[in-house]
Amino acid sequence: MEPDRVTELSNKYVKYVEGKDKLLSSKSRRLLAHLLDAAFYIVSFFLIVMIGSRWSEELFLTVIISWVLMFVIVQIYLSSTRGQTIGKLCLGIQVVSQYDDDKIGFYRVVFLRVIVAQVLLGYVPFYAIINILMIFGEDQRCLHDRIAKTDVIYVPHSDSEWNR
């Protein structure tokens, strides 16, 4: 088995893994997907607050809590089953196992990519900066990608076997 290698082909990074190439997502596409997730979250929250300002306090709190739970469940479900958040889905990128194109599953999404990263964010000085700067390495993987042993790859919508 040939070791993983990353090569640059006309500004696109291709990672060779077990006899096949994976087209890694660009840094800008990953950033845009993250911003789309944040925008979706912020805009929908703002709309609920604007509409809910006329509701009773109990109804308003119930709607806010329900919305947060729904948003988290949808994001975790998409990430666990498709390797995509809403932003990644819109931009045709997926999180896959570092070693093959397998879906990463619930444990890697929730525990390794989210919970461990959030704990590190709270307790390790400069974790956020280190996490972000690591994407500029040869294999374009942030620290949370390394912890979960994942890659983020570009998969055009029409080519995705997961779009079934």
CA distance 30 to 152: 8
E-strand stretches of the chain: 5-9, 12-17, 20-23, 93-97, 150-154
| pLDDT (mean) for 113-124 | 85
pLDDT number for residue 3: 43
Q: What is the predicted pLDDT for the residue at 162?
A: 46
pLDDT of the residue at 15: 62
Kindly provide the residue ranges of all beta strands, DSSP E only, lying in 65-126, ordered along the sequence. 93-97
For the chain, the average pLDDT equals 82
Q: What is the pTM of this model?
A: 0.76
Question: How much is the pLDDT for 71?
Answer: 85
Q: What are the φ/ψ torsions at residue 155 (nearest 5 degrees)?
A: -135, 105
Q: How far apart are CA 161 and CA 164, in angstroms?
A: 7
Q: Tell me what pLDDT residue 91 has.
A: 93
How many of the other CB atoms lie within 10 Å of CB of 42? Answer: 10
Q: Using CA atoms, how far apart are residues 83 and 162, in angstroms rounded to an integer?
A: 9
pLDDT the model gives residue 10:
47
